[in-house]
Amino acid sequence: MILDLRSHAIEAPAHRDIVSPGEKVDHACLVVDGLVGRFDQMKNGSRQITAIHIPGDLCDLHSVVAPVAGWGLDALATSTILHIPHGELRAAAVAYPAIAMAFWRDTTADASILAKWVGNIGRKDAMARLAHLLCELGMRMEQAELGTRTEYTVPITQTQLGDVLGLTSVHVNRTMQALRRDGIVRTRNKTIHIDDWPRLLSLAEFDPRFLLVAPMDQQEAA
C-alpha cells in the first residue's frame, strides 16, 4: 500500500546524516537497503543510537505528527532510502481509519522497543545488553525475511554497536569475545551466527512480546 504513494529514492553513503537533529522534515523515510540509525547527540560529541532500522522499516513515521524532532537519522552503512511525503501519509490516515490505526500501532511498537532499551541500558550489564540486541535483531531480520533468527547479516561496526548499547567500542569488543569464547555466537564479516540460541535468550532475559509482532490479519486490515 505504502509503495503506491508518490515517493522518491535517495542513496546515502555510510556515516552520512540523513536527517540532522532539529531539522524540520516534510517526508518520512523508508529503508530500502542498508541500515539506518536514529541517534541523539551529546554536547561532548558522544552519540547514542536510539533505534536501528533494517530494510523494510519506516523510520520516520513520527515526523508526520511531529515534523521537528530532537533526533537525527544516520546511515550506519551505505543505504538507499525512500522519501515519502507527509501529505500522502496523512491523507491516507484521514481517509482510512484502519490505516491511521496501523500507523499508530507502528509508533507504539517503536515506543515499546524504546522502553525495553531504557530497561536494558539502565539495569543490565554489557553481556546481557549485547545478547538482547542480537536476539532482537535476529527476530526482526527473520520477520522481515532477510535471514533467520540465528543467522543474519547486519552491516554495523563495533563502535556503532557501542553507541546502541551505551558502551564503548572497546568494551563491545571484549564482550563479543566472551560470547564467542563461550561458543554462543560466531561472527564472520558482518554476519552473525548464533550457535546457542537458548543460552543467548536466557543471558538477555529476552521476551519477544515487546516487539509487538503484528498478527498478520491486523496488518492486512490496513
Partner DNA sequence: CGGCACATTGACGTGCATCAAACCGTGTGG
Partner DNA sequence: CCACACGGTTTGATGCACGTCAATGTGCCG
Q: Give the binding-site size for a copy of itself (rule: CB under 8 A).
A: 48
Decide: is 189 part of the binding site for DNA (CB under 7 A).
yes
104 and 180 in contact (C-beta within 8 Å)?
Answer: no
Site track for DNA across 113-152, x = CB under 7 A: ------------xxx-------------------------
> What's at 94, amino acid-wise?
V
Helix axes 158-165, 126-143, angle to 10 degrees: 100
| CA-based nearest residue to 199, from 144, 131, 137, 139 | 131
| CA-based nearest residue to 93, from 102, 85, 84 | 102
Q: In what order do the strands lie in the sheet with 185-188?
A: 151-153, 191-194, 185-188
Residue 56 in 3-state DSSP? coil
d(CA 135, CA 182): 16
- Distance in Å, CB of 169 to a copy of itself, minimum: 14
User: Please, which residue, 7 or 168, has the CB nearer to DNA?
Assistant: 168
9: cell is 529514492
d(CA 122, CA 119): 5
- Distance in Å, CB of 98 to a copy of itself, minimum: 9
Decide: is 116 part of the binding site for a copy of itself (CB under 8 A).
yes
Among the listed residues 7, 78, 80, 107, the single contact to a copy of itself using CB under 8 A: 107
- Distance in Å, CB of 11 to a copy of itself, minimum: 26
Decide: is 170 part of the binding site for a copy of itself (CB under 8 A).
no
Site track for a copy of itself across 131-160, x = CB under 8 A: ------------------------------
**Residue 78's binding partner out of a copy of itself, DNA, none, with CB under 5 to 8 Å set by partner kind:** none
Q: Radius of gyration (Cα) for the chain, nearest Å?
A: 17
Decide: is 14 part of the binding site for a copy of itself (CB under 8 A).
no
Decide: is 112 part of the binding site for a copy of itself (CB under 8 A).
yes
19 and 37 in contact (C-beta within 8 Å)?
Answer: no
Neighbours of 140 (CB within 10 A): 23
**Residue 174's binding partner out of DNA, a copy of itself, none, with CB under 5 to 8 Å set by partner kind:** DNA
Report the interface residues with a copy of itself, using CB under 8 A: 22, 38, 40, 42-43, 46-48, 50-51, 62, 65-66, 68-71, 93-94, 97, 100-101, 103-105, 107-112, 114-119, 121-124, 165-166, 205, 207, 209-210, 212
